Structure 1
Amino acid sequence: MSQLSDDFRTAFRHHPAGVALITATVDEVPYGLTISSLASLSIAPVSVSFSLSKESGAAGAVLAAPSFMIHMLGEEHEELATNFARPGAPRFTPEQNFQFLPTGEPYFAGAPIAFRSSIHSSISVGGSRLIAAEVHEIIQGTPQQHLLHQDRKYLRLSGLHSGIQQA
């Protein structure tokens, strides 16, 4: 690994990012993975972007699925995010509050916001794939502070006071 690559990893390790869970169904089997690369992309068409570091397993299922769900996770969903980030951890258990939409995608009903989406386009960059996903439906859940990830840890913004006063 080059010094540039090491410095790049360190820079992004310290850059906070929102945590999302992507779920899909392929051949009647649910798949899911945790990401921290979700970003808004376009208003017309309504689109988001994210990256996948591999094209097998759950990431491959997302690439193969006709549509999938992108769930923005709340602070109380740290355990769920961890489970979907770790191979072999419990997924889609009754306690995790998943249901299947009429269109077939696994939906986490506890998410503050979820997007039903499909791949608009994608491009390979190095060993990763950058996905542009068109949003077809937005499901509003219970509003809550979103979960963040920084330096291999989850962050909670609730209870923090910024010292910034609003006019």
Structure 2
Amino acid sequence: MTSAQPAARPASDFGASVPAHGPGASLSAATFKELFRGHPSGVAVITASGDDGPVALTASSVASVSVDPPLLIFSISAMSSATPAIAAADTIVVHLLDADDLDLARLGATSGVDRFADRDAWAPLPTGEPVYRDVRAWVRCAVVSRMDAGDSTIIAAQGLQATIAREAAPGEPGDALVYHNRTWHRLGEHSRIA
């Protein structure tokens, strides 16, 4: 005995659609940005030691991809002044931020500033990479792969060393910093829905 399958609904029933025009056509940059403005993401600052000194940038694209080996990925835009040094580095540090680290997130996202002017805010590791002090967590990584993707570079890196200063208990929201719709947000008990 087979059960009847419900009739498939046309895609037009699933909400507004912005079609690409013609075979092989692509969404516009504006439409693609609009898609992801509604998709929240965690916030990180990536640092490396470059030929001209330390560099940093804020990224909202960090994701874990494997625990054995411990691998993460992130993308960096060609528009960032820090991109050449980070893309060329053999090792980098990924700072995983919470709401207490908002000032650092803003610093890494601001163009034209010296992100290392405050010598009390960071220190080089014995291996040379700059690490910001008092962040929620950081992980030193070896870069294992790079891939050009449009106007960005995707980097895969393997975790080598980590420090966790502030961690939420399992199942607790902690004080996560999230970037959503061009603004910073704090996750907490008030944002829990299930």
**TM range, normalised to the smaller chain?**
0.7 to 0.9
Please tell me the root mean square deviation across aligned C-alpha atoms, in Å: 2.1
- State whether structure 2 residue 55 is matched by structure 1 residue 31: yes
Q: Percent identity?
A: 34
Matches within 5 A, 1:1-167: 4-5=27-28, 6-27=30-51, 29-54=53-78, 57-94=81-118, 97-143=121-167, 145-164=175-194
Q: Do 1:110 and 1:142's aligned partners in 2 also have CA atoms closer than 8 Å?
A: no
- The structural deviation recorded for 1:118 is 1.9
Structure-2 separation of matches of 1:15 and 1:86: 22
Tell which has more relative contact order, 1 or 2 (C-alpha 8 A, sep 6+): 1
Contact between 1:72 and 1:146, CA under 8 Å: does it hold in 2?
A: no
In the TM superposition, residue 73 of structure 1 has moved relative to its aligned partner by 0.9
- Which AA in structure 1 matches 2:178? L
Q: Residues 54-79 of structure 1, C-alpha deviation per residue, up to 9 Å, x if partnerless?
A: 17621111112221100001102222
Q: How many equivalent residue pairs?
A: 163
Higher Cα radius of gyration: 2
Structure 1: 5+ residue runs without aligned partners? none
Q: Tell me the TM-score normalized by structure 2.
A: 0.76
CA distance in 1, matches of 2:96, 2:107: 15
Query: What letter is aligned with 2:85?
Result: A
Task: Give the gaps of 5 or more residues in structure 2.
Answer: 1-19, 21-25, 168-173
